[in-house]
Amino acid sequence: MNKEQALDRLLAAKNFRDICPDTVKKEFEIQLARRGDPSAAEKAARERLHAVTGAFMTPGEARAVGACLDEYLSGDESALTRALRLHASTRERLEWMDALFSRVLSFTGGPSRVFDAACGLNPLYLGHLGLKGVLGWDIHGGAVKLINDWARACGWDVRAECRDVILSAPDETFGLALAMKLLPVLETGCKGSALTFLKSLKARFILVTFPTRTLGGRNVGMERTYSDWFASEIAGHFEIAEVFTAGSELCYILKEA
């Protein structure tokens, strides 16, 4: 199989049809440069794409989020919780989500525009809170469509785009940018990309969070590992305005240094 055939196969694969095509190409090129062989690169890119996006929400879960919208529109607010439970990242956060956002929004003074980078389903919660000018980017086209469907039906000032935060950044300036549980995903793909991404954002405040437990719920010393790595990574570039823990999520509010 040559390079073009391997990439075409990857782009047409059922599991990846909904993923941002630029991301699929990027992951394939990275793996090809590492391995040389197109078939091996295709296999490795599949694994990486599953780990960075597919693993968080299955196609069946995405369909179920769509079904929750009708219940929410009929006045059943608990349908939002059921929808947020269908993406691994918001599922883990449900218990402390209100406390986390109430602290961040009061610290940052109720920002008028919010960028949610690699947002998953989090903008559904932001729309429900009544935040204005919310823009979410994610490489998962299914999540992006669901956010736009909910926002349109509920009349929220929220929109989402299928974009890769490594390949570009929004031109607009935001009161608050969210980078929740994202930096480890970026850094495992390419060393140094987390800091490059943070520096590409135009925002008064940036909320960065890290999981302190694995997807399976185990405590394997992640809090210490991430806090040590993060402090050295951002030194000289950003000032930490606030740090706190919410449930099993380590949270930083950054300002430019």
Count residues binding ligand SAM (CB under 6 A).
21
Closer by beta carbon to ligand SAM, 42 or else 164: 164
Nearest distance in Å: CB 16, ligand SAM = 12
**Contact between 181 and ligand SAM per CB under 6 A:** yes
Considering only 118, 146, 208, 251, the residue that binds ligand SAM (CB under 6 A) is 118
**Contact between 108 and ligand SAM per CB under 6 A:** no
Closer by beta carbon to ligand SAM, 122 or else 248: 122
Closer by beta carbon to ligand SAM, 5 or else 102: 102
Q: What is the DSSP string of the chain?
A: --HHHHHHHHHH-GGGTTB-HHHHHHHHHHHHHHH--HHHHHHHHHHHHHHHTGGG--HHHHHHHHHHHHHHHTT-THHHHHHHTTSHHHHHHTTTHHHHHHHHHHHTT--S-EEEET-TTHHHHHHHHT-SSEEEEESBHHHHHHHHHHHHHHT-SEEEEE--TTT---SS-EEEEEEET-HHHHHHHSTTHHHHHHHH--EEEEEEEEESS-TT----SHHHHHHHHHHHHHTTTEEEEEEEEETTEEEEEEEE-
Segment contacting ligand SAM (CB under 6 A): 4-12, 75-83, 115-123, 146-154? Answer: 115-123
The answer to whether 138 touches 162, Cβ cutoff 8 Å, is yes
Residues of this chain, 195-234, that bind ligand SAM according to CB under 6 A: none
Site string for ligand SAM, 59-98 (x = CB under 6 A): ------------------------------xx--------
**Contact between 151 and ligand SAM per CB under 6 A:** no
Considering only 138, 142, 169, 250, the residue that binds ligand SAM (CB under 6 A) is 138
Residues that bind ligand SAM (CB under 6 A): 52-53, 56, 89-90, 118-120, 122, 137-140, 143, 164-166, 180-182, 185
